[in-house]
Structure 1
Amino acid sequence: MAEVPKNQLALVAENFQGDFTVKEIPVPEIEEDEILVNLEYSGICHTDVHCHEGIYGPLVKLPYIGGHEGSGKIVKMGGNVKNWKIGDKVGVQMMNNACSSCEFCKKEKHFLCPSIVEFGVSRPGTFQQYIAVKPYDAVKLPDHADLSIIAPILCAGVTIYSALRQCHLLPGECVALSGAGGGLGSLGIQYAKSMGRD
């Protein structure tokens, strides 16, 4: 594994609706309970467009490094990290830093945790080469996983999969997807078919 550089490239917007520029910024330092991921792919979501347009206002930290659906490999680990290894393929989740102890976390509704921060919104996201994350904010992937396919699945894929699961449809029942020509819809068609829905 190559040595981790001191600096990296990132796609940065200095202000809302401003141009993105490629800038050299420091590679994040990791804490003892974090992993450093060399991002190889990042999806682009409509949330990124909303952040850039300033729709989320004060939630978005400027300068803005967007992206919240990335995939790559671990290149460095803190001393307290267990059950991971250098070179593991991982996906980076959008919402992170859940407390694991509030009423929402105990019900596995981490996305409602008041401690949540979001990559690409309130902290620098996946439009950079390296990102520091807690292991529980990453998804360990099999060695054979195609990282180019995984990145957009981490947002759009999870969104539509969750919607289909909440329908409680039985195999053979019909599903209608409004706007099935977009990213969510096209994934929804594939998921529904693989789940035995018409």
Structure 2
Amino acid sequence: MAEVPKNQLALVAENFQGDFTVKEIPVPEIEEDEILVNLEYSGICHTDVHCHEGIYGPLVKLPYIGGHEGSGKIVKMGGNVKNWKIGDKVGVQMMNNACSSCEFCKKEKHFLCPSIVEFGVSRPGTFQQYIAVKPYDAVKLPDHADLSIIAPILCAGVTIYSALRQCHLLPGECVALSGAGGGLGSLGIQYAKSMGYRVLAIDHSSKEQHCRSLGADYFVDAFSENLVPYIVQV
């Protein structure tokens, strides 16, 4: 096993709406069925802002270590871990510990599972250097993966990809993306095009060039009086 320090640095908020400070805290101990990931990158999601503002109240554990879009490499493994090795690249996502047997899990709605544990909400997240995770909750990445690009995809990317999948469209059909010029929308345009869909981007007129550069086939200003007729026409 790789040498792992006893302590690490983490970005910590002691109170809701309080300042974040860099603190030295212990590196998590792992169970026999867990892996320890040395995080190299973490995305920042608006959910992190909500947690810090106290919007989720008692769901958020204080002191608060946010983040749920992490990527890094395995530096330590429990004795019962199989099919992984030290140095493997790993993605760490928000929702973990789904039971896989409840009615929600069987419908692939794992985010509604009563057993879910959320990094960056109910337990310390990816705003730290090391994190312990169950192998079945980790995303094994190819050796050539760019960890800096992967991190934000683990929340924003998964969110919009899941929505597109649930549309059950056929190649050649059209999908309308509201807020297409934003973070999720920008990924959504690219995913939809790779899935063979035609894309109608809806956003402020200032986002048209950006949306078209990503592959949008059509664009309509979200504030246009002709918004609904244009959508119906397309």
Normalising by structure 2, we get a TM-score of 0.81
Paired residue secondary structure (1:15): coil
User: Structure 1, residues 87-110: CA drift from partner, whole Å, max 9, x if none?
Assistant: 000101211122334333344432
Displacement of 1:115: 1.4
CA-atom RMSD in angstroms? 1.3
Aligned residues: 196
CA contact (8 A) 2:42 2:151 kept: yes
Where structure 1 has 5 or more consecutive residues not aligned to the other structure, the ranges are none
1:134 and 2:120 matched: no
User: Structure 1, residues 117-174: CA drift from partner, whole Å, max 9, x if none?
Assistant: 1000000000000000010110111111111111111100010011111112222222
Paired residue secondary structure (1:176): strand
Structure exhibiting the larger radius of gyration computed from Cα positions: 2
| Greater Cα offset, 103-112 or 48-57 | 103-112
Compared CA separation, residues 99 and 171, structure 1 to 2 (3 A): closer
Write the distance in 2 (CA, Å) between the matches of 1:66 and 1:45: 9
Write the distance in 2 (CA, Å) between the matches of 1:97 and 1:169: 30
Compared CA separation, residues 99 and 190, structure 1 to 2 (3 A): same
CA contact (8 A) 2:2 2:76 kept: no
Normalising by structure 1, we get a TM-score of 0.95
| Greater Cα offset, 90-99 or 6-15 | 90-99
Paired residue secondary structure (2:158): helix
Write the distance in 1 (CA, Å) between the matches of 2:28 and 2:191: 36
Write the distance in 2 (CA, Å) between the matches of 1:35 and 1:62: 24
Write the distance in 2 (CA, Å) between the matches of 1:85 and 1:152: 24
Write the distance in 2 (CA, Å) between the matches of 1:158 and 1:24: 31
- Higher relative CO (Cα under 8 Å, sequence separation at least 6) belongs to 1
Write the distance in 2 (CA, Å) between the matches of 1:174 and 1:117: 36
CA contact (8 A) 2:2 2:86 kept: no
CA contact (8 A) 2:93 2:138 kept: yes
Where structure 2 has 5 or more consecutive residues not aligned to the other structure, the ranges are 197-234
Write the distance in 1 (CA, Å) between the matches of 2:102 and 2:182: 36
| Greater Cα offset, 15-24 or 105-114 | 105-114
Write the distance in 2 (CA, Å) between the matches of 1:147 and 1:55: 30
Displacement of 1:25: 0.4
Displacement of 1:2: 5.3
